[in-house]
Amino acid sequence: MKSRLLIAWLFAVAFSSTAVHAEELMAVPFPEVHIKDNFWSQRIRTNRTATIEANLHQCEITGRIRNFAIAGKLEEGKHKGLLFDDSDVYKVLEGIAYTLSSQRDAELEKRADAIIDKIAAAQQPDGYLNTYYTLVKPEERWKNIRGGHELYCAGHLIEAAVAYQQATGKRKLLDVAIKLADHIDRTFGPDKKVDTSGHEEIELALVKLYRATKEKRYLKLAQFFLDVRGRKDKRKLFGEYAQDHKPVRQQSEVVGHAVRAMYLYCGMADMAGITGDKELLAALEKIWHDVVARKMYVTGGIGPSASNEGFTVPYDLPNDSAYCETCAAIGMALWNHRMFLMSGEAKYADVLEREAYNGLLSGVSLSGDRFFYVNPLASRGRHHRVPWFDCSCCPTNIVRYIPGMGERIWAHRGNTIWSVLYVGNTATIPLKDGKVQLTEKTKYPWEGDIEIVVEPEKNFSFEMNLRIPGWCRNKPELTVNGEKMMAAVERGYVRLSRVWNKGDVIHLYLPMPVERVYADPHVKADVGRVALQRGPIVYCLEGVDNGGSVRNLCLPKEATLTAKFDKDLLGGVVTIQGEALAVAREGEKLVTKPVAFRAVPYFAWDNREPGQMIVWLAEEPERAELPGEDGVVVAGVRIRASYLNPTDTLETLNDDEVPKSSQDHSIRRMTWWDHRGTAEWLSYRTAKPRKLSGAQVYWFDDTGIGACRVPAEWRLLWLDGNEWKPVKLLKGEQYGTALDQFNRVSFEPVTTRELRLEVKLKAGYSGGVLKWRVMEAK
């Protein structure tokens, strides 16, 4: 087994230009693809029997469905819930539609039709439809575009309507969506209301409606919403949080709220694919490279920060406090599928696959009725899935994504077929010169053997493109009818062009050794750490498999790792096993003990007894987290605090980023919120003593926004044996609390394993720190 850097194939993908095709690749739709493998068919079945049922139940008991009946005067009552709750109902209907596309279910369809009747009743005579504004604030229709979510909800209605009509042939919901879209078209436009969505979604939905109806007004309206984004000469901007800081064609880095960003890029990709807009595509390529190379977790998770549910600065990828919203992973998968359909480049399908098998799938329990909103890469045993959230965008997004897996397996254009994801299935693909039936058999993602039986309706020439995943570092094996093929890999694909006969058999073998994965060295949280991956699956260690504790383990570089399928574990998974070192402290000395360990797929964690979990394992004892020691270890330094707000992090305190100001919300921070007027502290502890002589602190202060201020006073202490002693400042030095700068102090050198920053918060206020750096004596 060879160690390798993940950066070599994914986090540092070479930037290349992608040809624009006015005619995109076409995904093979649901009725023509039937999934038959154990992995995805099991999850689609669970989605039908458990996930849809759980979400319908919650939409009923929380009043989300009843809101439509009340707005339609079918029942009396008051609106319940949040202003964007309509979207949850629409997403569940969309998931039902995809389920019905695969297999009609009269009872489920009847229930969906009943909900649709209530939605139709809630629509106003002019086409407007939003239960919150109809029932609670009718006078504020279209007045709070930034935060009102009216366009967002409308977009999800349109997506559900298109899907339901395609699945059942019934037009009632589609007619409602068309009437609403026409109302929006009368309201927004160059000579009407000039604004764009506060939460993107309407853009991609209007493109779907255009494709379903061929009505160009909807495409033109989607174009309008994209074109006025970031145009400060035309409207007041919403800022980076909503990707509304500059025109979309000028954007080159991902910023702001992660889900908003992904839905925007989906809309941009849809538009670029249809129009051949090279400027849009160039912007998308730059943004994609920024996300994948600098801001994506090994699980495919994106958006590390809870404070903005989104992005901060490059390489800010902490593990315990990783936000990684499930909806963001779904959005990333949707966007990358679109990028693939525009280009036929495997790098986009690789990211789609990474999301599907890791950071997205972790959002739902194996039972299908419990959900993660947040998907961290490490846990001390206190993070668990729950049945529902007040804001339940993630459970309802899962409902619609999983049954739609069928359209992510094949793509085609002209007389060419592309494989996208490897899944056991049968599919009928309409090529230019005739239909082709493909039967794929595989135990992917657990095994790399893939067999495809080709059955064209007549013998004719066409091209098969088979994806060679980026994770496949060893040479794959490819045969047709037993004859070895020597095709070169181009843009991640091997191309087989020939006259195909009924019964031809393709066999592709993708070697799946256990791989050690290393993060880019700029990711401070993962320095000296390693993750494990096999095929497309990223692994983690859970306490339940490893004696209760995994954060104190280190995995030596020379450790032998083996893979084994366990049919009785977690529904049947491949585990990784080997020998690690358990690290403990005896006095001032670290001691290690060999222990056997077992790693399981990350997507399956927290489905058994609660306990610790970790993805990135220390490779050296000094970087392991010792039993009884709290805080986090970053680059060999243990960072602790008297208290930490659950949405904040300690992991970026000592990195190299320089804040823009004390109110910089684009980077992560630590705060003691909501402790007010109290004595608090931070400390840095190392395995070995260091000689220190200075420190600098950049305070967090959100005056005008929140209740964090610079402290009333602070000081530094060093640990001498078991006694804390104040450092002695050099002459003329003082503890500063200036805003928008580092407050530096120098002191007489001390040799210690731990330095503490102690503060007294101002009365009635809390406080926080953006950066804290210490200087070693020369």
Active site residues: 309, 393
Residue 674, preceding bond cis, omega within 30 degrees?
A: yes
3-state secondary structure 532-588: EEECCEEEEEEHHHCCCCCCCEECCCCCCEEEEEECCCCCCEEEEEEEEEEEEEECC
Amino acid at 89: V
d(CA 515, CA 597): 16
In sequence order, which ranges of 105-257 are alpha helices (DSSP H)? 106-122, 131-135, 150-168, 172-187, 202-213, 216-227
Instruction: Fill in the DSSP letter of residue 457.
Output: S
Q: Could you tell me which residues are beta bridge partners of residue 743?
A: 697
Pair 283, 314: CB distance under 8 Å: no
CA distances from 615 to 10, 299, 365 (A): 18, 9, 18
Closest Cα to residue 354, out of 533, 516, 512, 540?
533
Q: Residue holding tokens 């495409």?
A: 219
For helices 172-187 and 216-227, the axis angle rounded to 10 degrees is 50
CB 328 within 8 A of CB 301: yes
User: Phi/psi of residue 314, each to 5°?
Assistant: -55, 140
3-state class (DSSP) for residue 769: strand
Selection from 207, 200, 199, 345 nearest residue 271 by Cα: 207
Cis peptide before 318 (omega within 30 of 0): no
Contact (CB, 8 A) for 109 and 168: yes
Amino acid at residue number 640: R
Structure-token pair, residue 12: 């540092």
Structure tokens at 639: 């960072």
Cβ(398)–Cβ(366) below 8 Å: no
With beta carbons less than 8 A apart as the criterion, state whether 318 and 668 touch. yes
In the chain, what is the straight-line distance between the N-terminal and C-terminal CA atoms, in Å? Answer: 42
Judged by DSSP in three states, 39 sits in: helix
Residue 209 C-alpha from the chain's centroid: 26
